[in-house]
């Protein structure tokens, strides 16, 4: 579904991606792991058109989308939940959801889509008319995910959805991601919480200072990593250093 070949990306003189290649197949849940500054967000921003890549190619459903505008890529079916959620705090829950639906707005479908979101996230129904900024961190994350789903993405990309959430809320978010995959959504998940991500994903890539250091199944990754308890431990601070 998504194929990236030898992609480079830079911020001025800083090269953040040194020619990475990765693939996400239809229906797969794939993790992109790596410590802070590894280039995870840069990869997602390059895919959804927020950052113009240097070299390399990004193909989606057989079509070259390298360097296309974000709205074009969104219409093709790639939706991202950005790091830090970035919901509109001054707008209501409904307005946030309506913005997510704007590429595909159809009055009859909008109602049905809302009902589907309420089934997935009952809290959003309760908070429908409230300002997004009044929601808790976890509720805002749910709103951000629901907003992304309103465009009916073929590929959903999540950038650190568990960041800053309580353990209970983190559990809910990981359960939700599994449920979305079970419904058939293809997902590329960026996480620093490698241990939790590896419990639910089909495959994982490990990014280290802008290069893919490993790709494989969670079991293969755990076998390759020295002293799993240390590097995958992450204890309860939600962070995790991953080294090979």
Q: How far is the CB of 155 from Mg ion (least distance, A)?
A: 18
- Cβ nearer to ligand ADP, comparing 38 with 145: 38
CA-to-CA distance for 121 and 216, rounded, in angstroms?
Answer: 32
Binding site residues, ligand ADP, CB under 6 A: 11, 14, 16, 34, 36-42
Binding site residues, Mg ion, CB under 5 A: 40-41, 83
CB 17 within 8 A of CB 42: yes
3-state secondary structure of 67: coil
- Cβ nearer to ligand ADP, comparing 12 with 184: 12
CA-to-CA distance for 40 and 197, rounded, in angstroms?
Answer: 14
| Residue 79 site contact among ligand ADP, Mg ion, none (CB < 5 to 8 Å, cut-off depends on kind) | none
Angle at which helix 137-149 crosses helix 107-120, to 10 degrees, equals 140
Retrieve residue 1's tokens.
Answer: 């579904």
| Residue 186 site contact among ligand ADP, Mg ion, none (CB < 5 to 8 Å, cut-off depends on kind) | none
- Cβ nearer to Mg ion, comparing 32 with 135: 32
Q: How far is the CB of 121 from Mg ion (least distance, A)?
A: 24
- Cβ nearer to ligand ADP, comparing 67 with 103: 67
| Residue 27 site contact among Mg ion, ligand ADP, none (CB < 5 to 8 Å, cut-off depends on kind) | none
CB 51 within 8 A of CB 115: no
Could you report how far apart the first and last alpha carbons of the chain are, in Å?
Answer: 28
């Amino acid at each position: 579904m998504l194929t990236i070949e030898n992609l480079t990306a830079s911020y001025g003189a800083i090269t953040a991606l040194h020619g990475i290649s990765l693939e996400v197949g239809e229906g797969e849940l794939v993790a992109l792991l790596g410590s802070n500054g590894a280039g995870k967000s840069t990869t997602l921003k390059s895919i959804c058109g927020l950052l113009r890549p240097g070299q390399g190619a990004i193909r989606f459903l057989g079509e070259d989308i390298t360097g296309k505008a974000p709205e074009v890529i969104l219409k093709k079916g790639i939706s991202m939940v950005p790091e830090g959620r970035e919901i509109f705090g001054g707008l209501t829950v409904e307005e946030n959801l309506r913005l997510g639906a704007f590429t595909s707005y159809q009055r009859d479908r909008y109602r049905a889509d809302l009902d589907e979101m309420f089934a997935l996230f009952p809290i959003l129904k309760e908070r429908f008319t409230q300002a997004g900024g009044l929601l808790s961190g976890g509720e805002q994350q749910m709103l951000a995910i629901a907003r992304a789903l309103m465009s009916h993405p073929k590929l959903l990309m999540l950038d650190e959805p568990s960041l800053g959430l309580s353990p209970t809320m983190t559990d809910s978010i990981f359960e939700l991601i599994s449920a979305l995959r079970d419904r058939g959504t293809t997902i590329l998940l960026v996480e620093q919480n490698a241990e939790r991500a590896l419990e639910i994903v089909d495959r994982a890539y490990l990014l280290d200072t802008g290069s893919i250091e490993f790709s494989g199944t969670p079991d293969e990754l755990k076998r390759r990593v020295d002293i799993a308890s240390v590097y995958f431990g992450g204890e309860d601070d939600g962070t995790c250093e991953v080294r090979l």
